[in-house]
Structure 1
């Protein structure tokens, strides 16, 4: 090979040494000549090399590490369904290793993120790593993440066979070994040669010969993939054993023969499993019998695998521009996937020949589709979506030329052979201009329905039940994008499938059934969408449905890309014609948005703008706004001076300009300047890069111009689709889409000022005024009135009860009443209360009409009674009697009969029980404070002495002495009661005021009023309780205010706790109210015919 002089550094010495270049397994070998020349000594006991005064430790080969971890050098982002090759850093000293194998770390090698095994040279400290992301999401890995290991291997064990030779050896025998194609491949060649020239046919034959081993020779010639095995995860579930089912006598021999065939093919084997499922024989089209297994009980226990299938419409759209197509179908694809050894027994089934389980994945398992799709995407990683499409066991190879198609087909067959799979030649179709794929005929011209698939529609029997209708609609709906106004045509049939609908086959249903049959049989060919061209959106609407046609101009001719239709809901049927058409626009754009999100739409309008004015129910909902084009976005940003200057700077400067260039500009531009690297210009539209800290995903935020801010904030907060949510949710929704300087502050203010939100939502801290004390010091100084009812009509024809409570003594009187008219109340007060206890100084009640009537006011005036009342909807202002009402109802309920009609008979006893009991506040019973003595109870008559014998046991008391003694006793008790009331009142106030939160209002302030009005036939839970805004007219006290809504509205006196501040634009609200009143006046005049 030759010689070369190289420097060697050992310790502190560098020596030039001549080396012979040779093929060896290590970087270099130092021989005896070097040791002798430089007087080197090897101390084997100490394991050191001595060179002059330097010592160098020797490392034995057995002590060298044979495995190294590999980590990423930079942050790695792998797009979905993408394969990448990146550079990894080898940890440790691998300079002496020439050959090693890269193995994936188990923690990083998952079913969706794969690391390929590879033979590498790690001597330079870096190795290539091949990774593939099979998921539909980006995979992000941080720098220095460990992803694989690098293990030293024996060079002699490494095969020098090139990969291409290995593929060729795996996929087929050499051409010299196969002189003639097998009969099945001859038939495939014949079927695939119709459109080929002689030279192309020869190339096809060469391809088939080279890959002949990849095609099954018969139905029992199956491949076996081992890269991914099927697992059945049933958790901790107990085994399920189904009892054997009887088979028809005519099927037994066929089932036994099929089982024997499966045994011979090692598809199944005898089992001792605790699991057992049943056989279900199915007759195929050719009359033969297929064995199916009822795995439903096992499926119900299996944890589901959510691995996705690709969308059929995405797959069909990906074939755009393809002139050559080939379809491959695996032979009994499921049976080419091995079962996991630990789960084989779960596939066991019973038969007359015994118990067997599957070695391969059987049909009928709930996760079978997910496993097979994962295997196929693993097998064809890097080719899927680029050269071929995969849908379970269907593979379609596409290209725009014969040469590229030949190469792509060969690559796909190589991958299939490498995985050990086999293809069924009977089901393949190669080098075609149009093929059947996923129930459609695809070609370079477009997509059409498959006549073989829809042939059943033409001969479909007339539906006899709701199930028949659903089955027919399910078949037709698969091809609904081929049928214009499908929803409108199928509406009578859809009505038959509604809940609680009686099946009634009418003439209208029959016409819809026949029209769908006829329309589907003559469905047009749909063109492929071209993302470089403008789309034409043509919409229409009727009273029951909406429809849209999406088309493009291809070679000067308008070509339909898709039809869209949808039935309208009951609410949507109320829309005017214009809104129904705009709804069709919005639904079709939403339907196409994921695919065509960056494409411009040209809307074909049928309705004049004047018709929009005729729509009675105006709305700012986002659904009525048309899709904004790049041109419209650019023009809007251009109209904003700040954004126009920013656009000019981004166009003129690659790097951030100097401060002097922006120093004289608006402060908003300076804030954009400070984020220079995050501002990007895409298609002449300004965006801001923003990273979501939760998902670590990068988003582009559209920078909103001034003229669109209000409209966007409406659509982010006010529209029905966004629900008038709070500040946090609205800001978060905006951040995912939009940006402008101070956007958080402006959105916060928008939400705080929202009229609708304020009319419904409670304030963050509910208003609660401090407790105001009202203490009295003598009986009958102040009494409270209230009415309980309506109650069940009693035997005495009573329905209500008037409750009178003395504030000082807590004495309570109750009077049953047949009604609550003012005359009845006055009669009870005068004849049953005033005449026994005297005239009170003050009477307090709520604002019931009985207490506010002229008669009641006249009574109070004649008797010189000071009448007071609570504010509206403020029962706390009459808390004494309200609290007693609850006690009274609780007491009566314990003694009342089942029909509750004797409540008025129990009322006096309940009053006696209360009046004779000690009150918590006064520490005395009401009778002691009101009468100067305790009420005598039956227990006193039976077990206790006469009260007079206790007080004066040995003497006779005169009347004067008794009166004097009673007065002293009452004064003493009353004084003590006043102390207790004051003490208890102070305690209650301290506890209540802890949670008090007062808002101070002054005359002229604008407020919201909490209302308790309930509209009939409406749910109280869905009503808006805050009404307003109102203006504060007068401050009566720090608790009571006079308010008014407008100059002509009625004035109200309300409590502080029913108010909250109004933050909106008052003048704007006033103007809206004036406009609304003007419109109502005009409408009234027009309606009256004036």
Structure 2
């Protein structure tokens, strides 16, 4: 607004918050309005840059909290720009360097009408709704009303609906529907409609998207509905912006913002509301007489806190004064932040209330429905219970009493019986019918899930419309809109898998060892929530059940012993080392259920063998009761099958099943009898011990001989060993822990980037001092505990030591466990238990830890440091030295880097990892099959950790893209980046990124690569390592790059 009578220019804080501006210095001034009485509080002064056409003007603006308009241009601006107002032509002219420019103005903003035109040529596919970008003659607007032109719709055979638009940088987005069976084309600058100031009543309609719509050229008006629109508050707008901040695509963000702004009341928490539903909570107490209780004693301070809470609820109409014959006392719980939680003790009322048995969905049922969906929206209803009304005749039964009075609830209170069923019934009636495939409700948590973004927009708009119509409100801080990974019911979910919520895992890890029965039950309850992720859960938890399954009479006998502590530590170890996730089923592949039984418990593993590898779908186990432990082995196996299939029906009923059981005489017949009587004919039984070798030998459910120190097989070993043909998993990234004796070398041999297929088994025929001649062939070796036990049985030296141990001869440096001989070695005040490697396995171990692509053909030091913490054999280092010195590939490509000693100038190391990074391009080299010729290398100065990414080119854009996407957005911003002075580093783009993320970019001295020597040294290292694996054409070098980087970093 231009106000020539104002001495200064003014802007409101709300309008200023939408603009980029400098910091506002504090100011203690006031301004007087023209009436001579009203005063405005000035909170500061800021300089703004105004744009009129192509002319920019600067002015100082006073900032006020609120006015009747957002922005006033006063006489100070008019004077400095020599403004002239032409009332006849309705235009303002201001001075510019090219003469005067003329700006049209409108006396009333409500009458302002602007054209909306297409920016580019638009091709709309048949029978599809298409989002197009359009231009408007206004720079920005929060909400304007769009009216389509009938002539354009009729001439172009398209449909557009009246809608609310958001304008930014002279552009907006709107939906156009093509109802015909052919593609519709709109030329550039097609006039689509007009935008005006948003009225308080807006006509709206839905775009036609049904396939039955007529394809004639005649245009038919859609059915028009009238809705009321209120301007969004600045707080609500900020809330919507925060919810959409993660959306990267501008068009997607605009479309979602349009949907949310249509339902802005849904996110406005300035006024507490009650839902308008057909269901009101009732309290059926039958013919019971009213129950009255006295208030609990309170201190003066507690009475004051209670009264404050009651006043808040009175102001929001959640309660009202009461004359009820019913009364229940109030309970106060202190919150962590010092506040109080207001609860009513309804136990006496609940004891005479008839129960409502409306079904509650289970967590497993809900999580099972989410597989294969890409976009998720979670809505958390604000104080969900307090939004539901209670039946008028039953309000008196909710009455609560304090020392200061009697009140009753107008809404559903917490702690009252049948509250959850009422809430679930309400949400089911609103959202449940016909929407099973894209929305689920668990009390006040609503999850919308879709397979595509366009589908998700429709689902989101539909659900928000229903909830907004029912007058529900959400808690925006707990909502997530259109994300691709969501936390729901203490689990983290995405398209492919489900895993435990990281915060919940941290809470379990922070628990100290229990000292009371209550603490033990608390730990067991929390860990039990994630039992489906933990193999062999029942056996590990058996000692805990032993001391917690106490009757009330024997609870005082609780005792936390060594067995319980071992189980406690074992669970914490699994939570920090196992890859805890389950994959959603592939509906094109049968399930394989592997079962096993022991004297302690029974269990099964549900998996699928897919072309992309093995999918673990579920771990299931439980402890046997006293009666079941008396079953013989055959009955236990049959019970295991019957129980596992019964528990996993929601999975396996949809596909054929193959049941793999531990082999024992008669188990096949007994299990088959169970299957034939209780399960569908698509179920088949496979009694084949070779396919469950890991479950039988290396992963026992009830083998009590396992100790904490003994290495246990990892999840990867089971997944790989379960493959029926023992084929390799290509391009796998295997997590190999040092204490996983049976998985480490096996994982190295099974992650091959080459196209060759690994043999089912291989035994090296080379001597201990001769390297394999075919290092690029990643063979599959068997390093399982059963193989080690078998090979040790044929070793004369090992058998001699074992025999002497069995003859009670004392050997302090050796130990025999589960038939396997271990060497005890003291290192760093810790005793390590190393597997005594039989002589037949030594060549295979050398091939695994040196020749394999995940080992990288590295030198003596790294190979020795990797093997020495896992295996032992006499003269081990001499064997390694001899083997590597005889390696033809190492001899061919390694170079001597020893230089004569001189004056050293050490570089001061950084204080933390990722503080200083060195970056350099390597190349060009032979073009790979993927078209790559260069490698961008980034090295951490402190840890030496390396990132390397292959690229077809090494331009400044490539550098910026890889640095942002692979480094900064994944690991955070470093303090310093060191590079050479190449044009791909020394450019404005990289400088802008450095300024944006706040890191210092340092250039090395010209012709002095030693400045960035750590990165340069890696370049020389990986060139020789890759050369050892490349084919003769050297066009597959980028295939081995990730393996070389992995081997290098793993050996740090």
If the TM-score is normalised by the length of the shorter chain, which range does it land in? 0.3 to 0.5
Q: Greater Rg, structure 1 or structure 2?
A: 1
TM-score by length of 2: 0.42
TM-score normalised by length of structure 1: 0.40
